[in-house]
Chains A and B, each alone.
Chain A
Amino acid sequence: MGMTMTQKILAAHAGLDKVEAGQLISAKLDIVLGNDITTPVAVNEFKKAGFDSVFDKDRVAIVLDHFVPNKDIKAAEQSKTCREFACSHCVSHFYDVGKMGIEHALLPEQGVVTAGDCIIGADSHTCTYGALGAFSTGVGSTDMAAGMATGTAWFKVPSAIKFNLTGKLPPNCSGKDVILTIIGMIGVDGALYKSMEFTGDGTHGLSMDDRLCICNMAIEAGAKNGIFPVDDVTMAYLNGRSERPPVVYEADADAEYEKVINIDLATIVPTVACPHLPENTHPASELHDIKIDQVVIGSCTNGRMEDMEAAYNILKGKKVADGIRVIIIPGTMQILRECVERGWYTAFIDAGAIVSTPTCGPCLGGYMGILAAGEKCIATTNRNFVGRMGHVDSEVYLASPHTAAASALTGYITEYKEEK
């Protein structure tokens, strides 16, 4: 029996010819990642255990993105801990204010992660990089500390669910609608401990931003990782960007999957996950009675260029509905700069929205758009748990940038329909 794409990457990094689902392995890591919330805990553990150097200063990435620019004194202390650690260990991929972006938008953009990599990150959305054809998974701070010290991590080799994608997405849908539909179908633990391997002719029609968004939310189905095969779209993205040469792995033709799920992308509709679980999905068209107070367009899920473009195309020359706060957060400084240069920043302001520097901020209820009791927000973020964006009695509706922007104009959850 052959191996899945994920198993192939893990076998190569464990120095083995073959691995099987359930096998415990120790694998070499290409990148170890942390952010301003998880790194301070890792630094404490690293020091407490008596390690005095990182395994490779070029293979550790520390990104300050959750609470920066520092939201308060305590957050400032956490950033300082990260900064001092990065400085003392000469960490080459350290991203502070001015250079930073939301980690999972930033590392692919900067070419820090590439196809064939084995990556751990002390952030659950580290699974994003599977879009590039890498094995990438979220871990905790202790694993980050161990990874920084040794350059290795232990894994239980996952089994996989294959998602066979065919057809082409309708113009008012994006990767977000695909992954929300899938989570609605299989549930928040539908892929628990497993890989989600996306294959089929339909994958070629998905942009890199769509793929990054789809893999980003694999964790919301409980998955260990999500992964796309490497194709022309991948190579065009990596070319001139990737710091290290990409390595291409393919699933064996006789690879074993626990399940195969066929999805015709043409049947996808604009989808919204209602409170308080990402699996609680409904077509946006059925939710038009839900009045909203706030719109957030950004996050590691949807803060990329195509997301900004969707928001721009819908908001340009229009005004957001009275009483609606619209917060747009480009994922990286490069994306922010691009929004300025293309005049989108001005268009957002003219529409009545505000634009923030890159931050995770409101997605996890940190700052920059916290909700009061009873308030409702439609957001392009990834989680809608109780209290996720603020008060325990507030509500988050997860949607695509198209749906979020269209809703900003009406004040109610609204399915975007292309103007003729």
Chain B
Amino acid sequence: MNTQGKAFKYPDNVDTDVIIPARYLNTPDAKELALHCMEDIDTEFVKNVKQGDVMVAGWNFGCGSSREHAPLVIKTCGTGCVIAKSFARIFYRNAINIGLPILECEEAAEEINANDEVKVDFDTGVITNLTTGKTYKAQPFPPFIQNIIKCGGLLKSLKEGENNG
């Protein structure tokens, strides 16, 4: 599994209220919600994002509300992966549970610039900045979490009885 696309760069502490403002949360429809992804800090994101593109952010990405709508709209927009220095814990959990690939890599998150072409290999955790030629290695997930991802999300993993939860 991998993704390749253009980088969208964001700062530290991107919260779920700007990823998807609560004023739109009167519907659970991911496609409708995705039209508003990031709009409070980046009105151009939804217009410009293409399938496979990569979000690159600083510390504590996804802090705030537990709304699963946040990783869901990022995924529904076509984003192939989020790379950050760190993730807020509920966002981290939600991303895994709904199948949005995320990687923690401080160096990559620092050095990748907006609009760089980035390739990510999820199996190895290798991030390649095709614009600069530099590669980075993110921490792989523990096996327990890899199993959830392999099954296509938490509920599928439970249904398949492949985890003891």
A interacts with B = yes
Q: Knowing A67-B26, A124-B64, A387-B18 touch, does A140 contact B90 (C-beta < 8 A)?
A: yes
**Chain A residue with minimal CB distance to B99?**
A142
Q: Which 7 A-B pairs have the closest CB atoms?
A: A140-B94, A140-B68, A74-B26, A49-B155, A142-B97, A364-B22, A189-B60
* Chain A residues with CB below 8 A from B65, complex form: 123-124, 364, 383
Distance in Å: Cβ of A71 to nearest Cβ of chain B: 7
* Chain B residues with CB below 8 A from A149, complex form: 155, 158
Q: Knowing A75-B26, A386-B40 touch, does A140 contact B66 (C-beta < 8 A)?
A: yes
A150-158, A196-204, A252-260, A328-336: which lies at the interface: A150-158
A365 touches B23 (CB 8 A): yes
**Chain A residue with minimal CB distance to B88?**
A222
A interface size (C-beta, 8 A): 57
Distance in Å: Cβ of B45 to nearest Cβ of chain A: 14
* Chain B residues with CB below 8 A from A123, complex form: 65-66
A-B contacts besides A74-B26, A140-B67, A188-B13, 11 pairs, CB < 8 Å = A49-B155, A74-B27, A142-B153, A143-B97, A149-B155, A154-B163, A189-B86, A364-B17, A366-B22, A366-B23, A370-B23
**Chain A residue with minimal CB distance to B144?**
A24
A138 within 8 A of B: yes
B116 within 8 A of A: no
**Chain A residue with minimal CB distance to B92?**
A193
Could you give 27 example pairs across A and B, Cβ below 8 Å?
A: A37-B22, A37-B25, A40-B28, A41-B28, A41-B68, A41-B72, A44-B28, A49-B155, A49-B159, A74-B26, A74-B27, A139-B90, A140-B67, A140-B90, A140-B93, A140-B97, A143-B93, A143-B94, A146-B154, A154-B163, A189-B13, A192-B89, A222-B89, A364-B22, A370-B23, A386-B40, A387-B17
CB neighbors of A among B135-150 (8 A): 142, 144
Bound together, the chains give a CA A383 to CA B21 distance in angstroms of 13
B156 within 8 A of A: yes
A342 within 8 A of B: no
A224 within 8 A of B: yes
Give me the interface of A with B, judged by CB distance under 8 Å. 24, 26, 37-38, 40-41, 44-46, 48-50, 66-67, 71-72, 74-75, 77-78, 81, 121-124, 126, 138-143, 145-146, 149-150, 152-154, 188-189, 192-193, 219, 222, 224, 277, 364-366, 370, 383, 385-388, 392
B158 touches A49 (CB 8 A): yes
* Chain A residues with CB below 8 A from B22, complex form: 37, 66, 364-366, 388
B163 touches A138 (CB 8 A): no
Distance in Å: Cβ of A368 to nearest Cβ of chain B: 12
B122 within 8 A of A: no
Distance in Å: Cβ of B147 to nearest Cβ of chain A: 11
Distance in Å: Cβ of B19 to nearest Cβ of chain A: 10
* Chain A residues with CB below 8 A from B90, complex form: 124, 138-140, 219
CB neighbors of A among B40-94 (8 A): 40-41, 59-60, 63-69, 71-72, 86, 88-90, 93-94
Distance in Å: Cβ of B40 to nearest Cβ of chain A: 4
B18 touches A386 (CB 8 A): yes
B164 touches A150 (CB 8 A): no
B164 touches A41 (CB 8 A): no
Q: Knowing A140-B97, A222-B89 touch, does A192 contact B66 (C-beta < 8 A)?
A: no
Query: B158 touches which one: A24, A38, A40, A146 (CB < 8 A)?
Result: A146
A26 touches B28 (CB 8 A): no
* Chain A residues with CB below 8 A from B165, complex form: 26, 146, 150, 152-154
**Chain A residue with minimal CB distance to B95?**
A140
Which one of B86, B93, B98 has the highest number of Cβ atoms from chain A below 10 Å of its Cβ? Answer: B93
* Chain B residues with CB below 8 A from A124, complex form: 64-66, 90
Distance in Å: Cβ of B48 to nearest Cβ of chain A: 19
Bound together, the chains give a CA A193 to CA B93 distance in angstroms of 11
Q: Knowing A152-B165, A386-B41, A387-B18 touch, does A41 contact B26 (C-beta < 8 A)?
A: no
Bound together, the chains give a CA A140 to CA B144 distance in angstroms of 18
* Chain A residues with CB below 8 A from B106, complex form: none
* Chain B residues with CB below 8 A from A78, complex form: 26-28
A138 touches B66 (CB 8 A): yes
Bound together, the chains give a CA A250 to CA B36 distance in angstroms of 46
**Chain B residue with minimal CB distance to A390?**
B23
Bound together, the chains give a CA A154 to CA B154 distance in angstroms of 10
Distance in Å: Cβ of B149 to nearest Cβ of chain A: 13
Which one of B59, B98, B158, B164 has the highest number of Cβ atoms from chain A below 10 Å of its Cβ? Answer: B158
B159 touches A188 (CB 8 A): no
Bound together, the chains give a CA A150 to CA B144 distance in angstroms of 18
Bound together, the chains give a CA A66 to CA B67 distance in angstroms of 12
B15 within 8 A of A: yes
**Chain A residue with minimal CB distance to B148?**
A154
Q: Knowing A50-B159, A364-B65, A366-B23 touch, does A26 contact B154 (C-beta < 8 A)?
A: no
Distance in Å: Cβ of B66 to nearest Cβ of chain A: 4
A141 touches B155 (CB 8 A): no
* Chain A residues with CB below 8 A from B86, complex form: 189, 192
**Chain A residue with minimal CB distance to B65?**
A124
